[in-house]
A and B are shown apart, each in its own frame.
Chain A
Amino acid sequence: MNLGTRKLLDRAFTALGFGSIAIMGLMLLIVLVPIVSNGISALVFRSTVEHRKMAYNEFHRGNQTSLDKEIAESDAARKPVYEILSGFEAELKLMDEDKQQEYKDKYDQVRTALRALLGPLPGESEPALTRLKYGQNRWEKAEEKLHEFLYEKKWDYSNPDVAAKEYFVSRSAGFEGTSLVRLFPYVEKNIDRMLLPEWTFYWGFITDSSVDSHIFGGIWPEIQGTIFLAVGAMLFAFPLGVVAAVYFTEYAREGFFTSLLRSANSTLAGVPSIVFGLFGLAFFINTLKVSESKSVLAGSLTLAIMILPTIIRSAEEAILAVPRTYKEASLGLGSTKWNTIVTVILPAALPGILTGGVISLGRAAGETAPIIFTAAVSVGSAIGLADVFSSPTPALSWNIYNLASEHEAASEIRHVQYGMVLSLITIVLLLNLSAIVLRARISKKLKG
């Protein structure tokens, strides 16, 4: 191969490598940007007076006098709406039977749409569900609801060859000639006076517990549950893993038994996580009965078994990477094997061991399958430290799945789903970042 071709090939490979890394970065960007931007909208958004009412009633947060002032202001703006409604109802009673029937359904729809926007209408009894007690909390949602209020969605089935098309019909057209017609332009024009949107930084999203299955409130129970589960898993897996790694590297004699143990460890690393979940249910809960039913303890144990192989392997690598000469020097000074391991080998291997540990911690925080059967519940409040032995907990990974797929109002709480995803990613990234920093700091200390 001549020099020209060789250089060309080198350059081509450089381009290939650069290209693949660039594609990877782009993919990451495509995934992360929407998650981050939508996730942040859970914290920073234009809140309505309804949100402030909710925050005051449910979390005792906010200033009562200024809230009362705002409520008075928005009530003043809403008053004409309710007057128009009662005016129309009086008008309706005077109409003949057929007309009444014609308007009844349409009028009910109007009331429903209005309720979604502004909360319970006057004269109605207090609803049982918290989600029905308040109007729209978020301005961008309110704008959607306003559209639903103004226009009725219909489907066009006229052409049987193509899929049905949606189209919108103005609701006001249906009430032509009645007093209700005035309602629609009034609401459209005065919606911001009725809801008083303003930019808010809602830090309660992180620290509040959820109200009415995440329709309102925050995700603290999930964050706390995730931390409990991951730290719990670490408490079991880290000491066990390091001890096992020390055994493999320093004590085990190479032989059939050791290689059997090693391959068992590698196999364990490849087991699908859902299998660990079922195993946790069958072994820890049904057989060992560590708790009555799902509990943080059972979940932590299951996660611990799942991350154990990774911890063992990274600790093993780290210990093997310690120069043999350290060991020789220590033994040569009359140190026992145990002393050598504790005072020389483990400190020198610490950066690697910790890195493996923290990355496993991140993995434990993010896993869903092992905790489905052993620890996770969809809705619940934050549990106390004393309850970890008996109580299940909500956790980010499981609740992301649950809110996105099984929640009855999944499309209403997209911001919560994104907020949870962002929180989980942030936790895992922070853990990995701290692993990098920790490693760098200890390595620097060791190198002098």
Chain B
Amino acid sequence: MQSSPEIVETSRNATKSVREIYLPPQRKKVSGGDVPHVSAKNFSIYYGEFEAVKKVNADILSKYVTAIIGPSGCGKSTFLRSINRMNDLIPNCHTTGSLMFDSEDVYGKFTDEVLLRKKIGMVFQKPNPFPKSIFDNIAYGPRLHGIKDKKTLAGIVEKSLRKAALWDEVSDRLDKNALSMSGGQQQRLCFARTLAVEPEILLLDEPTSALDPKATAKIEDLIQELRGSYTIMIVTHNMQQASRVSDFTMFFYEGVLVEHATTAQLFTNPKDRMTEDYITGRFS
């Protein structure tokens, strides 16, 4: 939304203002990166007849943070959820093309989606802790996968809470119900819960959209902490957030992957006219 003609003029003339707004921080190379962790080839997702994601070709590099942006209904969440097959919950949803996770075909006939989801963790838009104690929330995953020893569990819980920067706040009330925590704490608990099963990839579906700015900042710090240890994919509506936390950015529009580049390049020198229009706020 432009309120005055002058501003329209400057932003139409491209990238200067954009560069000022979204100046990404300098980033170090990650060791063990540069290997595609997830790769999509001609990958489409259908809801019944409707093609929600159209023939996506992309390599998501290991250990880096990749942001997915785009207007509402562009298929970015659908794409994210397809990576650990959460879309299986939706009836009539099917895919074509291939989506590889390491050397495994995500939609292969013999793929065990339960094992897949253990390796590809997910944090959702709204904090969704179980109505159990903080301890039981985090121990839920490890217990599922067969860890029964109390000491081991306690160790995992502490490690996960420390990773999620929550340990200091809740270490004295692990037996309290998770729903008694604040929204931001609940979301970090969800991070900790996901980290407790030691996934390789973290899928974040708008993890801060239900949080206030202070809690959002903490989550963003957390993502920075986790960068380099996990492959992270984050769907966000907030373009500043994308530029702050990510190494790569994918821009989706109406189910098509329009542009996929380093965040610095996509925000400062977008190749596609549509990308430019979107990040300059010409449409949303």
Contacts and interface: CB of A to CB of B under 8 A. Distances in A.
A429 B47 CA distance: 50
A169 interface: no
B157 interface: no
B177 A448 contact: yes
Contacts of B118: 333-334
A334 B197 contact: yes
Interface string B102-132: 0000000000001111110110101011110
A447 B131 CA distance: 6
Contact of A326 (B116, B130, B141): B130
Interface in B50-73: none
Interface in B138-195: 140-141, 144-145, 176-180, 190, 193-194
A329 B130 contact: yes
Interface stretch (B83-91, B245-253, B259-267): B83-91
A336 B145 CA distance: 10
Nearest to A344: B130
Contacts of B117: 331-335
Residue of A254, A333, A343, A347 contacting most chain B CB atoms (<10 Å): A333
Nearest to A335: B144
B200 to A, nearest CB: 12
Interface string A311-344: 0000000000001011111111111100100011
A76 interface: no
Nearest to A339: B144
Nearest to B179: A448
A332 B114 CA distance: 8
Given A334-B117, A446-B131, A325 B126 contact: yes
A325 B128 contact: yes
A334 B144 contact: yes
Q: Majority SS of interface residues in chain A?
A: helix
Nearest to B177: A448
Contact of B128 (A329, A339, A343): A329
A13 to B, nearest CB: 37
A424 B176 CA distance: 41
Contact of A329 (B115, B145, B176, B190): B190
Given A328-B124, A333-B197, A447-B177, A348 B131 contact: yes
A326 B193 CA distance: 13
Given A329-B124, A343-B140, A334 B114 contact: yes
Contacts of A325: 124, 126, 128
A61 interface: no
B128 A333 contact: no
B122 to A, nearest CB: 4
Nearest to A332: B122
Given A326-B131, A333-B194, A334-B197, 5 more contacts: A323-B128, A328-B124, A335-B140, A335-B141, A447-B179
Interface of A: 253-254, 323, 325-336, 339, 343-344, 347-348, 445-448
